[in-house]
Amino acid sequence: MNSRSLLPFAVLLLLTAACRSSEQEGTVAEARDNVPSTIEGEQSTTEKVGATGRNHGYIRRFYQQKGQYYVAVDYIQFLKGADAVAAAQRKGDAAMDVQNGDTIYSVFNDYYIVNDNPQQRTLRVSPTAVVTLWDKTAELRQYRTTPAEVLAKGTEVFRYAPFVVESRQGTVTSLTEQFVP
């Protein structure tokens, strides 16, 4: 079979894929539009990690040792909107769609996580630190808890979602679960 006989089939396949992609993007956009802005969260504004700051990260370990709480943090960049798309394009992860001859890039649910350095940093957690989590069982809402309550209930809450880690002079003062749709 020569390449000329495959041309009509290839064009039909591309048109079908483009139609399906537009339908999916509409569904994703509708879902994204239903997320209230108050729970959308914030975007990482810096890659610099210091002794005092506010950064996004994955909590890889949360434990107590000799009466003191500790957390192992893998810092990340949590990006949204155009910044997320640009980062995903640089990494080759952006979804590509052609609309009216223009190439449109996007990322799923309008966010993208960059983790160029998987190094974990262990920080002491203040016993008065505030841990804010999402309750996703009924109506979506945030609730506050303490490091002691987190350990008593189990650290599974840290397994998948990124957190906003706030620290002062090398001690974690706040852990807030980042909402991800």
pLDDT tens for each residue of 88-99: 999 999 999 999
In a domain, residue 154? The reply is yes
| Residue pair 85/96 in contact by the 8 Å Cβ criterion | no
- Give the integer Cα–Cα distance in Å for 111 and 114: 10
Mean pLDDT of the chain: 79
65: left (phi over 0), alpha (psi -120 to 50) or beta: beta
Quote the pLDDT of residue 156: 87
Query: Looking at the predicted structure, is the pLDDT value of residue 148 above 60?
Result: yes
**Domain boundaries, position 138:** 53-78+113-177
Q: Residue 84's pLDDT is what?
A: 92
Assigned domain for 119 exists: yes
Arithmetic mean of pLDDT, 137-165:
89
Enter the tokens of residue 65: 């040792």
Residue 39 in any domain: the answer is no
Domains: count for the chain: 1
Say whether pLDDT at 140 is over 80: yes
Instruction: Specify if 157 maps to a domain.
Output: yes
Mean pLDDT in residue range 39-66 = 73
Question: Which residues are 130's β-sheet partners?
Answer: 174
Q: Examine the pLDDT at 146 and tell me if it is beyond 60.
A: yes
125 domain-assigned = yes
38 lies in some domain:
no
Cβ proximity of 125 and 171 under 8 Å: yes
Residue 6 lies in a domain: no
37 located within any domain: no
